[in-house]
Amino acid sequence: METAPPATEPDEAPVRRSRGRPRKTANERDDGNRRQALLRAAARLFRQQGFDATSTRDIAAAVGMRSGSPFYHFENKEALLAAVMEEGMQRALDHQRARMDAAVAAAPGPLSARDCLRVLVRSHFDNLLGPESDHIPVMLYEWRVLSDGQKRAVNRLKDDYEAVWVPVLQALQRDGALGGDLRIARLMLFGALNWAAQWYVPDGRASLDDLTETTLQLFLKESRA
């Protein structure tokens, strides 16, 4: 069953007339707004209480809807969770790319592997711990709820995300700056970073920049070169 577009204009539509060209597809725009609101509320509640402990009624109430209405936007509760994760991963990927591009553009010469890692770690902390960043923790801690097909969809994005890291870690290992088996080193690095979702408090003693510096000091040795 697909979600059909609403057949009628809501009668609480804004009274103010649109100037200039007509608002295209007021319904669609509203639809997008409500859908986005649901995703944001779901991400926050899923993170705070867990997927199972959050009822679709909780989510509906958080955005001022009645209990049945979320199912107008999402086929079921699982699909809502999958959408939270996919959007989170897509945004994380976009953010990572933007940060890398900006760093490359800002640097006078080519970036060292060390500099690349700094950018990747810093943007990872943004994605994990920054404002409005519940999506990724939800992905990390509610993974098992997804169906196999949903996992595959999110995994495609995760692969893209990790693909940026691999050559950087390889280069660091070649330089002797990173020890251990590469695959396990990567998993442990992500573990160290992702674990911060469990203990980091934004107003605490350390900023995300501080975390980033500590990460580099902890994981990198002096290069051979």
Contacts with DNA, residue ranges (CB under 7 A): 1, 6, 10, 30-31, 34-35, 54-58, 60, 64-69, 71-73, 75-78
To DNA, the closest distance from the beta carbon of 121 in angstroms equals 36
Phi and psi at 71, nearest 5°, equal -75, -5
72 or 190: CB nearest its own copies: 190
Tally Cβ neighbours within 10 Å of residue 155: 12
Which of its own copies, DNA, none sits in contact with 34, Cβ below 5 to 8 A by type?
DNA
To DNA, the closest distance from the beta carbon of 65 in angstroms equals 4
64 or 179: CB nearest its own copies: 179
To its own copies, the closest distance from the beta carbon of 114 in angstroms equals 13
CA–CA dist 154, 83 (Å, integer): 9
10 or 149: CB nearest DNA: 10
Q: Which residues contact 45 (CB under 8 A, 6 or more apart)?
A: 54, 58, 59, 62
60 or 139: CB nearest its own copies: 139
To its own copies, the closest distance from the beta carbon of 139 in angstroms equals 12
145 or 220: CB nearest DNA: 145
* Tokens 């199972």, residue located: 52
54 or 215: CB nearest DNA: 54
In 3D space, the residue among 126, 77, 75 whose CA is nearest the CA of residue 100 turns out to be: 126
CA–CA dist 28, 50 (Å, integer): 30
CA–CA dist 176, 6 (Å, integer): 60
Give burial (CB, 10 Å; 0-12/13-18/19+) of 13.
Answer: exposed
Which of its own copies, DNA, none sits in contact with 123, Cβ below 5 to 8 A by type?
none
To its own copies, the closest distance from the beta carbon of 3 in angstroms equals 26
Phi and psi at 67, nearest 5°, equal -60, -35
To its own copies, the closest distance from the beta carbon of 171 in angstroms equals 16
One-character DSSP codes across 65-131: --TTTHHHHSSSHHHHHHHHHHHHHHHHHHHHHHHHHHHHHH-SSPPPHHHHHHHHHHHHHHHHHST
Which of its own copies, DNA, none sits in contact with 194, Cβ below 5 to 8 A by type?
its own copies
Instruction: State the residues that interact with its own copies by CB under 8 A.
Output: 49-53, 141, 144-145, 178-181, 184-185, 187-196, 198-199, 206, 210-211, 213-215, 217-222
